[in-house]
Structure 1
């Protein structure tokens, strides 16, 4: 198998993968409905060849990365799996249950789910970087139909661009990302949407507010897709968050200072531990 990689979708993640793999000497071919992104990548030397139509894809890629919104991923996988039989197909979606279950049902044994825990609030190829994944966790979610050899090949490739690979069950993955990624985006958007009540709130929104709501500048299309793709997990988490805020509100109403103090104290202890673990 030639050292060729196909990237479908040259946004922030797809573009950054293309740059990182190109730096390692892989020949990158790419497809994107936004042809300007591919043309930019060809011009800067990241992409060798533009794919005009996925129906024309040949079975010549060691790895193929699906880097499109999660609700589009299954359709892309269906197309690619009819063309690519030898190489490994993977994706970068923030939810894994739907696409992994689809692969199992269709017997697509060369598909292995993946998800890099990396990114910024910026979108588009112009913001991509070959160092985006350095030190980042990258989930790999193999199933029983995958060969162990293919799984190890994918993990080795991902490790080569500086990622810390975590192999995990796809259902557990969706539960984890629901807590640490999907719910925070919902909460962040809610805080920002509260500012729409008055322009004066926007005027005085300072550093702390901007820090906690930075992720709300991410793609609305991507996060709407993710919300529906991880619907059941997210609904349960939203209910739990509402319960948490309701209890906080009740403690304020009842003047329970110690309970309110504990609310913030627990958060500080957990947050400090997270930051401490990152620095090790």
Structure 2
């Protein structure tokens, strides 16, 4: 097996992948429009070679990871797939339907969609670390034209860095992440944006508010891209959430204590079960 890995996009996720794969003994080559990130990674001893232009990429990589905002990933895949025929190309995008459909349409059989459910609210290579993926779920979204052998190779690689691999249909993936990741980011941003109504709100925003809105410190570019990439799913979820709040508002207006109590009781029960399952 060739021991070279290409990372396109050396931010938090790409940088963390580079660090953990370097620790596993792979030779890492990297491309990023922010040349400084790659240069720092080379000085750190993480990246062996800087790729100046994707047009110059050679077919020498066992795995190539696309780690850029989702609306840019298809363009990168198109470039890489014209150069890399032998190795596996994958991505780490938070949405999978668009890029998987593109790969099917173009017959890119060596592309296998992927998405690590890992990250922090911080961005950039400087905040990357090699244990980011330890214990995290990592979605793999194969398409019909993928080789089963190559899917297994990617699974083995991802498992080797401490992830729990889950194979899932790409449409189902986008529905799941819409509920557990994308909508919460929209809600979090909404709560923070409400602070602009009065500066005194910012002064007294304490631990609880900071905890629930921590994810709003994430990259605006990344989340704007995700919102449009998963637009159909999010529009349905936003309507459901509006309906939920509208019902709560109605119960509050009508002084229906039992319904308001049930709203919080159900949430506590579900949340406690989630935490309990995580401990197991």
TM range (shorter): over 0.9
Structure 2 equivalent of residue 48 of structure 1: 48
Distance between the aligned counterparts of 2:224 and 2:211, measured in 1? 22
Structure 2 equivalent of residue 11 of structure 1: 11
Distance between the aligned counterparts of 1:152 and 1:5, measured in 2? 17
- Report how many aligned residue pairs link the two structures: 280
Distance between the aligned counterparts of 2:82 and 2:220, measured in 1? 31
Provide the aligned C-alpha RMSD in A. Answer: 0.4
Structure 2 equivalent of residue 248 of structure 1: 248
Distance between the aligned counterparts of 2:210 and 2:173, measured in 1? 28
Q: Which runs of 5+ in 1 are unaligned?
A: none
For residues 198-245 of structure 1, the C-alpha deviation after alignment (integer angstroms, 9 at most, x for no partner) is 110000000000000000000000000000000000000000000000
Residue 86 (structure 1) shift: 0.1
Structure 2 equivalent of residue 27 of structure 1: 27
Q: Which runs of 5+ in 2 are unaligned?
A: none
Structure 1 equivalent of residue 234 of structure 2: 234
Distance between the aligned counterparts of 1:45 and 1:14, measured in 2? 15
Residue 2 (structure 1) shift: 1.8
Distance between the aligned counterparts of 2:29 and 2:205, measured in 1? 43
1:115-134 correspondence to structure 2 within 5 Å: 115-134=115-134
Q: Aligned to 1:41, what secondary structure does the other structure show? A: helix
- Aligned: 1:188 with 2:185: no
Provide TM-score, normalisation by structure 2: 1.00
For residues 5-64 of structure 1, the C-alpha deviation after alignment (integer angstroms, 9 at most, x for no partner) is 000000000000000000000000000000010011000011000000000000000000
Distance between the aligned counterparts of 2:162 and 2:218, measured in 1? 24
Residue 120 (structure 1) shift: 0.2
Distance between the aligned counterparts of 2:48 and 2:248, measured in 1? 56
Distance between the aligned counterparts of 1:88 and 1:107, measured in 2? 14
